[in-house]
Amino acid sequence: MYVETTRALVAVDVNTGGDTSPAAGLKANLAAMRDLPRQLRLRGLGGQIVIDMAPMAKKDRRVVETELRRGLKTDSVETTLVGWTNLGHYELQRARVRNPLAEIR
């Protein structure tokens, strides 16, 4: 999982690495959704967040979204799950509660 901040949004890219098994996309996406809330909190990231998931079947979207909801449930930062785009990305809106870690010197 790569997390990159731009002026407009935070882009999260999930890849399978060297795993080419049929279930690789779902496994990678579930692992990323478990860790993403922690990464956003540690890095102090907020605003529009767009997640480019690893390739997976559309039928698995609900499972991945449920895992993300579970991870965000204990997070104190207000986060709105916007949903899936036509391109298969997932969007979030997250409150900015502090300066991003990359900007602190």
- How confident is the model over 43-61, as pLDDT tens digits? 999 999 999 999 999 999 9
> What is the pTM (predicted TM-score) of this model?
0.89
Going from the N-terminus, what domains does the chain have, and what CATH number goes with each?
2-99 (3.30.110)
Tens digit of pLDDT for each residue in 67-101?
999 999 988 899 999 999 999 999 999 998 777 77
Q: What would the mean pLDDT of 25-44 be, rounded to a whole number?
A: 95
What is the structure's pLDDT at 98?
79
What is the structure's pLDDT at 61?
96
- What is the four-CA torsion angle of 73, 99, 42, 96, rounded to 10 degrees? 10
- What stretch of H or E contains 12? strand 10-13
Grade residue 22 by pLDDT with cuts at 50, 70 and 90: confident
Higher pLDDT, residue 98 or 38: 38
Task: Tell whether the torsion through CA atoms of 91, 2, 76 and 44 is positive or negative.
Answer: negative
